[in-house]
């Protein structure tokens, strides 16, 4: 069932491309800390505003609160997009997706980064620091930021995801 209000919501939350500066919330656990630090510098040099939501060392920590904070920053409009990092990126994606309105996608290659944005209007990127190297991570982030949501038939599907989320939260 198509809901016009959900469809307009899916269109409204499409975020800016890389040709415009974006406000990006970023967070990582201890396994993703070094990659996070690198990406903060990389994104800042590209003109983006980056908000570091932790962790701030390689000391072992739990990722769920950090990833939820990134998700809330995106949901609440304090950030255009979010990035969460961990060893594999799996748990980080799951934690971010627990925040209502977040569409976090695990992207450890360029194809999934492009499809996550163009077809799913993903608003949080998750990557595994033990899976991707620094160079590939930069390319994934660049692709994610440069790809716009296509809308069309995908808009209907993103709206359906939002409707499922709403039903399940009751």
Catalytic residue status for 92: yes
Contacts of 20 (CB under 8 A, 6+ apart): none
Contacts of 22 (CB under 8 A, 6+ apart): 15, 16, 48, 49, 80, 81, 145
- 82, 126 in Cβ contact below 8 A? no
The vertex-17 CA angle with 13 and 18, nearest 5°, equals 145
CA distances from 109 to 88, 126, 133, 139 (A): 13, 11, 11, 9
Q: How many Å separate Cα 10 from the centre of its chain?
A: 15
Round to whole Å and give the CA distance between 59 and 109: 27
Query: Pick the catalytic residue: 23, 30, 38, 119?
Result: 119
The set of catalytic residues is 92, 119
């Amino acid at each position: 069932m198509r809901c016009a209000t959900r469809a307009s919501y899916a269109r409204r939350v499409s975020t800016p491309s890389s040709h415009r500066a974006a406000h990006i919330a970023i967070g990582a656990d201890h396994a993703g800390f070094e990659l996070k630090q690198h990406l903060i510098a990389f994104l800042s040099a590209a003109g983006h505003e980056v908000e570091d939501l932790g962790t701030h060392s390689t000391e072992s920590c739990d990722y769920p609160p950090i990833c939820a904070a990134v998700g809330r920053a995106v949901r609440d409009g304090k950030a255009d997009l979010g990035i969460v990092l961990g060893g594999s990126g799996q748990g980080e994606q799951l934690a971010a997706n627990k925040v209502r309105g977040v569409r976090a996608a695990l992207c450890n290659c360029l194809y999934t980064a492009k499809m996550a944005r163009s077809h799913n209007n993903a608003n949080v990127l998750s990557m595994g620091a033990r899976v991707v190297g620094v160079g590939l991570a930069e390319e994934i982030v660049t692709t994610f930021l440069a790809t716009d949501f296509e809308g069309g038939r995908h808009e209907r599907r993103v709206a359906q995801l939002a409707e499922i989320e709403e039903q399940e939260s009751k």
